[in-house]
Amino acid sequence: MTTTVIPERAPLYKRLPVVHQLRSSVGLQRGMLVAGLVLVAIFLLTAAFAPLLAPYGFGQLRADGELFGSQQRPSSDHLLGTTVGGFDVLSRVIWGSRTALTTIVLAVALSIVVGIVLGLLSGYFGGWLDRVLVVIADAIYAFPSLLLAILAAIVISNGQASKWGGIWATAISITVVFVPQYFRVIRAEAVRIKAEAFVESARVVGAGHVRIMTRHVLRNSTRTLPLIVTLNAGEAILTLAGLGFLGFGISPTQAGDWGYDLNKALGDVTSGIWWTSIPPGLAIVLTVLGVSLVGESLNDLADPRLRTRRRAAALAGTVGTTTAVPGGVLAAGAEGVAGVDLLEGADATPLAGPTPEDDAGSRAANGDDA
């Protein structure tokens, strides 16, 4: 054996998720990712600095002893006017970002934990527990999520809405809806990874179930999570807004809630009052748009079929050093001399259909030793 070119490793910050994707993206995908990140950043900053940014409190009805008044047009006092209940629209929109953020974080964290535990156990051990859980998850998955969330909201808060009561109720409602999704994803990954040679080799070595599950299966099955988290964060905001719109929101004296405000603005629209509905609505749209754009671009970048590759400069130079990403973060798949590998491997993606087992396993991209 002769010396081998040791691939250079990129500095740590370049290998972090998102940063790595940002660097490897081009064109439209990069544009979408950047736009999404900017929107998300605005959302996070607004939530963080709401007390500084908002001119009034979320439940404030009067300043200097004077009532704001109901349905006031935008003015210098109230940049976006006031609601039918006499609250300042701009302030409520800004405070609403806090509610949204708290709910997303709680809901996503809860559902990830529950979903991962159930999915991992179910996928790894299989058997009747797995079958039962799969049927349950499928049944719930196919059911209108909003209706389920309504039921959960009734159970948890029984219609009462204190600030944390409302947030928890919503977060748990969303969790009920999301757990089947995480369960399905993690279970599918666990089933796939369980059949991989490296897990079998751990079994052959004599490793116990706990060790295999934590060291080998879990760490490899959570690669797609950042992606699902971003996609679900958007859905969480929409569900929160939907619940608020249907009257399961958080009362205005407790916190800002975009869905609740839209519910109250429904009547205003008919009389042509636009400033009570458009600002909270746009806040929802922009936030969901931000996380969805990030999620969508991450999805594209993770899927070699959907990924756009950079077109190189016209001059064909020497082969550059391959920047290797340990674990690949999201960019799994044939790296390196990708174009050539794709052709030589000639292993087409199997049809996504009822026979996923047909995938004969990717042929190894075998390099020369020398």
Partner 1 sequence: MSTPVVQINNLAVTFDTDAGPVRAVRGVSLQVESGQVLAVVGESGSGKTVTARSILGLLPQTARTTGAVLLSRPDGTGTHDVTMLRGSALREVRGRDAAMVFQEPTSVLNPVYPVGWQIAEGLRAHGGLSRAQARERAIDVLQRVGIPDPEHRVDHYPHQFSGGQKQRIVIAQALALNPGLIIADEPTTALDVTVQAEILDLLRRLPAEFGTAVVLITHNMGVVADLADRVAVMLDGEIVEQADARTLFASPQHEYTRALLAAVPRVGGARLRTAAATEETPEADEPAVAADTAPVVVARDLRIVYPGRLRSPGFTAVDGVDLQIRPGEVVGLVGESGSGKTTIGRAIAGLTAVSEGSLEVLGMEMNGVRERRFRPLRKRIGFVFQDPATSFNPLLTIAQCVAEPLVVHGVASSPQAARAKVDELLEAVQLPRAFGDRFPHELSGGQRQRASLARALALDPELLIADEPTSALDVSVQARVLDLFARLQAELGFACLFISHDLAVVDLLADRIVVLHRGKVVEEGTGDQVLGAPEHPYTQRLLASLPVPDPVEQAERRRQWEELREA
Partner 2 sequence: MTSITTAEPTDLVPGAATPTPGRRRAGGGLGRYLLVRFLLIFPTILILVTTVFVMMRATGDPITAAQGGRLTPEQLAERIHAAGYDRPILVQYLDYLGSILRGDFGTTISDNRPVTEVLTTYGAATLELAFYALVVAFLVGIPLGRIAAARRDRGIDATFRVSAVLVYATPVFFAGMLLKLVFSVWLDWLPVAGRATTGTEIELQRNGAGTGIYLIDAISTGDPAAIQDVLEHAILPAIALGLLTAGVFLRLVRTNVIGTLATGYVEAARSRGVSERRLLRKHAWRPALVPIITVIGLQIALLLAGAVLTETTFEWKGLGFQLVQYLQARDYVAVQGMVALLAVIVALTNFVVDVIAALVDPRIRY
Which residue is it, tokens 């008919």?
270
Q: Which is nearer to partner 1, 73 or 363 (CB)?
A: 363
- Partner in contact with 10, chosen from partner 2, partner 1, none, beta carbon below 5 to 8 Å by kind: none
Q: Give residues 105-134 in contact with partner 1 (rule: CB under 8 A).
A: none
Candidates 72-80, 147-155, 203-211, 233-241 — which segment interacts with partner 1 by CB under 8 A? Answer: 203-211
Q: Which own/partner pairs from 325-328 qualify as long-range (CB within 8 Å, at least 24 positions apart)? A: 325/10, 325/15, 325/20, 326/9, 326/15, 327/223, 328/223
Q: Which does 159 bind (CB under 5 to 8 A by kind): partner 1, partner 2, none?
A: partner 2
Q: Which is nearer to partner 2, 63 or 231 (CB)?
A: 231
Of 87-95, 160-168, 217-225, 260-268, the window that binds partner 2 (rule: CB under 8 A) is: 260-268
Could you say whether residue 365 binds partner 2 (CB under 8 A)?
A: no
* 12: contact with partner 1 by CB under 8 A: no
What's the min distance (Å) between Cβ of 205 and partner 1?
4
Separation of alpha carbons 21 and 30, rounded Å:
9
Task: Give the integer Cα–Cα distance in Å for 99 and 47.
Answer: 8
Contact mark string toward partner 1, 329..368, x via CB under 8 A: ------xxxxxx-xxx-xxx-xx-x----x--xxxxxxxx
Selected from 288, 298, 301, 330, the binder of partner 2 by CB under 8 A is 288
Which residue do the tokens 């369960």 mark? 183
Output the CA–CA distances (angstroms, integers) from residue 84 to 241, 268, 285, in the order listed. Answer: 18, 8, 22
Residue with tokens 């999620």: 295
Residue 127 interacting with partner 2 (CB under 8 A): no
Tokens of 133: 């859980």
Distance CA 319, CA 339 (A): 13
Tell me: does residue 309 bind partner 1 (CB under 8 A).
Answer: yes
The C-alpha atoms of residue 367 and residue 370 are separated, in whole angstroms, by 9
70 binds, among partner 2, partner 1, none (CB under 5 to 8 A by kind): none
Other beta carbons less than 10 A from residue 248's beta carbon: 26
The residues with which 63 forms a beta bridge, in sequence order, are: 66
Which residue number, 21 or 99, has a Cβ lying nearer to partner 1? 21
User: Taking a C-beta distance cutoff of 8 angstroms, is the pair 260, 250 a contact?
Assistant: yes
CB nearer partner 1, residue 2 or residue 270: 2
Tokens of 188: 């599918």
Task: Give the C-alpha separation, 201 to 193, whole Å.
Answer: 12
Residue 360 interacting with partner 2 (CB under 8 A)? yes
- Give the interface with partner 2 as residue ranges (CB under 8 A): 27-28, 32, 135-136, 138-148, 150-152, 154-155, 158-159, 234, 238, 241-242, 245-247, 259, 262, 265-266, 269-272, 274, 277-278, 281, 284-289, 292-293, 296, 305-306, 308, 346, 348-349, 351-355, 357-358, 360-361, 363
